[in-house]
Amino acid sequence: MKWKASEMTPDVKWKDITPGCNIFEGGTSCTVETGDWRTMKPVLDADKCRQCLLCAPVCPDMSIPVKNGKRGDFNYFFCKGCGICANACPFGAITMVKDEK
């Protein structure tokens, strides 16, 4: 059976998924919450942030929105909690904390 990303729920058993977990549709990144398994999350201290934007291009999940030359808060829907942004910030404006879900 070919599953759509929106149909993949915890109720779908491993025997029922497509071979190799292939998903046969496009645009799945907007549908699938890829940050769901995160254990740590970045938190922005807006007072320390200098809007240098060094964090945004290093984020492998594009979880740091930039609009009109300014970064917004994290998009936790996609963020996996890798901490690369915190390591890239020269001002200590991003700290990693335990993600309490």
Residue tagged 């990303």 (tokens): 5
Predicted confidence at residue 3, as pLDDT, reads 61
Mean pLDDT of 67-74: 95
Q: Tell me the C-alpha to C-alpha distance, in Å, between residue 93 and each of 28, 45, 59, 66, 73.
A: 31, 5, 15, 16, 12
Instruction: Taking residues 70-77, report their average pLDDT.
Output: 94
If you average pLDDT over residues 65-84, what whole number do you get? 94
Tell me which of 95 and 33 has the higher pLDDT: 95
Which CATH code for domain 33-101? 3.30.70.20
| pLDDT at 52 > cutoff 70 | yes
Q: Where are the domains of the chain?
A: 1-32, 33-101
Query: Residue 27: what pLDDT?
Result: 57
Q: pLDDT band at residue 21, thresholds of 50, 70 and 90?
A: low
Whether residue 83 has pLDDT greater than 80: yes
CB contact at 8 A, 96 and 81: yes
- Residue 10 structure tokens: 């915890």
Can you give the pLDDT at residue 23?
60
- In this predicted structure, the answer to whether residue 75 has a pLDDT above a threshold of 60 is yes
